[in-house]
Amino acid sequence: MPSKERSYSCPIPSETGYYGGFIKSIRPVDEDPIEENYSPSPFRWLILVLAGLLLFGRNYNYDTPAAVKGPLSNDLVISESQYSLLFSVYSLPNIFLPFLGGFLIDKYGTSSTMGYFTLICMIGSLLSALGVQFRVYWILLCGRILFGLGGECISVGQTKIVAKCFFGGDLALALGVTLFVERLGSVITELLSPLIYTLYGTDWVFWISFISSLASSFCCIFIILMEKILRPPGIIEKDPELKVGDAFKLNKQFWILSFVICFLYGTVIPFIVVESSFLQSFWYKGDPQKAGQTMSIPDGISSFCAPIFGILVDKIGWQGHICVFSSISMALIHLALGFYSLSSPIIPLCLLGLIYTIYSSAVWPAVVAVTPEKHWGLAYGVATSILNASCALFPLIVSFIAPNWWAVELFFIFLSIIALIFSLALEIVDYLGPRTINLTEPERELKLKQSKPLESDEELMELIDISNKYRSHTVDKVWMLKKHTQNRILYSHDWSR
């Protein structure tokens, strides 16, 4: 029988780097065990569906007031500023809350914290419905505050669970599917809520919204149960020793990638905020309906194409290259929109939607690639907080510059150039370091194989075959390792003989 103390494993690439010889040292499994991801069970696809429905309910609730803005303002007799406050109390705290949520998720475990976040959102949705029912604005506002406290934290938690289920294969596809279902929630509430109002009134619009939140809570319960079933035995998912300051110990790749995300998203989201006015200034003067239909192109493309580009990113990898390509493309698109006499904006907007989808499919799986598994929640929380901060700051700058649209487009070109600089820095740091950003599918397969214990020559040969797919010179180093370690490590041997 194999002896456990004679089983050894190769360190994962993020610790040693495998491009300069992918095995630098060996260590006993029971001395420093490698954290494993969930087994590739078919149940992970069920978790993916439930995670998508969880975010569907969150987006349905968030966009409900916008779908019935006029009737809601009339029924509660609220001003424009009071209406805007319903969204501000959600958005402003979430500059910081995702970071706090990610920290709590890693420190106390995904299962327990996700339950609390979902409960907070459900109570917030209930208070919102009661506020509309009794026409009391402050109850509705308190409901939105509570909903905001848990909303973005839920997104961080479900992203970590999906990443653990699909790490090493289909992760970009999985995140693309959740993005599609999440944005579908916004579309459904925009279509369904006005119809519900016409048939039953404003009260039922918010009670249906609460029912969707209740359904999301049940999805969360099932996710927690399935997550516990799929978790490998003996794996502890929380880190009681984690401190807030550990966020600053995340590696250079992560911080550079976070700023890439910040500036790349800054070329799209603030543009969408002013897109209707921009289109009416150049192409659809006095026709807000046509401008509104046209401005939906980028979001529509990004929603429906996210799973497709997710499959592409899973196959080719190249997240760093995609960031460089996207930065250059965004600069050219905004250059065309602002400084060329185009007969129609549709083609540039379609290209903007495609590039938006491509880099969205690439950057979030890359967060997993550059951070250790025990800090995935913290990393996603920090990245989301930085993104939310940019989404709060950049639209303010754009609104200050507008309606000087040439200056606005110059600002977006400037953001694209900054994103390009950070993308190139990411490529350089990754090239000089562990090279985890641009992994292709065979390379990710090798990475997973390297994290498993080697107990026989057959497993060693399988590792060599995989490495030969893309880096043949590593074979000599494997055989050198075998020569120096002899049977003591690579063979299961009865040492009593």
Give this prediction's pTM: 0.78
Neighbours of 31 (CB within 10 A): 8
> Which pLDDT tens digits describe the chain residue by residue (497 residues)?
444 333 333 333 333 332 222 332 233 333 333 344 555 567 788 889 999 999 999 989 988 988 888 889 899 999 888 888 888 888 888 889 999 999 999 988 888 898 899 999 999 999 999 999 999 999 999 999 999 888 889 989 888 888 888 876 788 899 999 988 888 888 888 788 889 999 999 999 999 999 999 999 999 989 888 877 766 666 666 777 888 888 888 889 999 999 999 999 999 988 887 887 888 888 888 777 787 778 778 878 888 888 999 998 888 888 899 999 999 999 999 999 988 878 888 999 999 999 999 999 999 989 988 888 888 999 999 999 999 888 888 888 888 888 888 999 999 999 999 999 999 999 999 888 777 788 766 666 666 555 555 555 666 666 666 555 544 333 334 443 443 343 333 333 333 33
Q: Is-contact 306 177, C-beta < 8 A?
A: yes
d(CA 266, CA 273): 11
d(CA 65, CA 89): 13
Cβ neighbours of residue 255 closer than 8 Å, sequence gap 6 or more: none
Q: Measure CA 281 to chain center.
A: 34
Residue 172: name the closest of 460, 489, 497, 440 by CA.
440
DSSP line for 272-307: HHHHHHHHHHHT-TT-HHHHHHHHTHHHHHHHHHHH
